[in-house]
Chain A
Amino acid sequence: MSQVLAMGAYGFYVWTAVAVFFIVLLIDTLAPLARRRRNLRELRARIARQENRRRPGTSPSNESNP
């Protein structure tokens, strides 16, 4: 088994290439999921701010609606 994993004398190069492949794609998979959650959180906070501004006595016209 260890002979197979050694890849001749090239184990370092082969396994580093495999590791780079998986690490880069793992980061690429997780980053957009985190970004989506962050965007949802920010949007929720923005809506909450707009709700607060809508309290009585406040004119709704100063509400920004991008």
Chain B
Amino acid sequence: MANWVPLWLHRLGSPPVFYRFAGAVRPWALGLALVLGLVALYGGLFIAPADYQQGDAYRIIFIHVPSAWMSLFIYGAMAVAAFIGLVWRIKIAEVVAMESAPVGAAFTFITLVTGSLWGKPMWGTWWTWDARLTSELVLLFIYLGVIGLYHSFEDRRQGARAASFLVLVGAVNVPIVHFSVNWWNTLHQGSTVRLLGPSHIEASMLWPLLTMMAATKLYYIASLFARVRADLIASEGGKGWVRDLLAGPTGNDPA
């Protein structure tokens, strides 16, 4: 690896550097996410043909599946950050892990609600205690547990450490969610898009799906960075760099 990569990561571990970096990246990530998301929805809702079995109801896939991917992806990112935070006590890693949880919970909530809206016309029920649905609901409860545990401590870092343990323990649920459609006999359909082997989907339906996947990834970066910045103001409030921020020329709303 080139020498500047670890050097850059090391510098990014410093809260003021990360704060500025996040502030610079956030608007671009959010703007690009919005553009890609609208393009993907246009392609999914208006350009892609209707499904031969499900008619137009299948179009919920363009929201439901990218959200479900994000509910698992964010958990993975959160678990890596929690592990780094626990082992090396890097403050930024702890904050990234803790501030990932609300975004993950939001996507898990969207997954459950849109799945329900898809299940009613296709399966005839809003909800069933099926392996995939139940494990995704457990995922939401784990996210909420992480958020609650983090905020239940007077000392933020102590809370982050306790909640990071919960993140690592709860990680067992991630493969259960992913493989639940293979391991158990379930009402939920299997994977449509596969990394290994051919996907069971037409190109006109695949591109909006993948575009939405990119949009939700960028959205996660934007939302995470906004949350980390808010968190750092409070947790680093006594430090000189935050005081300088307040005293700066744009003292009213420092960038």
Contact = CB atoms under 8 A, between A and B. Distances in A.
Given A10-B55, A21-B67, A32 B226 contact: yes
B61 to A, nearest CB: 10
Interface in B47-63: 50, 55-57, 59-60, 63
A46 interface: yes
A43 B246 contact: yes
Contacts of A24: 106, 109-110
A47 B246 contact: yes
Contacts of A44: 246
B246 A13 contact: no
Interface string B90-125: 000000000000110010011001100110110000
Nearest to A16: B117
Interface in B24-54: 30, 41, 45-46, 50
Given A7-B56, A32-B230, A39-B230, A46 B117 contact: no
Interface in A1-26: 4, 7-11, 13-14, 16-18, 20-21, 24-25
Task: Determine chain A's interface SS by DSSP, over half rule.
Answer: helix
Contacts of B103: 28
Interface string B68-107: 0000000000000000000000000000000000110010
A18 B41 contact: yes
A7 B117 CA distance: 14
Contacts of A47: 243, 246
A4 B46 contact: yes
B229 A10 contact: no
B233 A36 contact: yes
Given A32-B223, A39-B233, A14 B238 contact: no
Given A36-B226, A36-B229, A39-B230, A8 B55 contact: yes
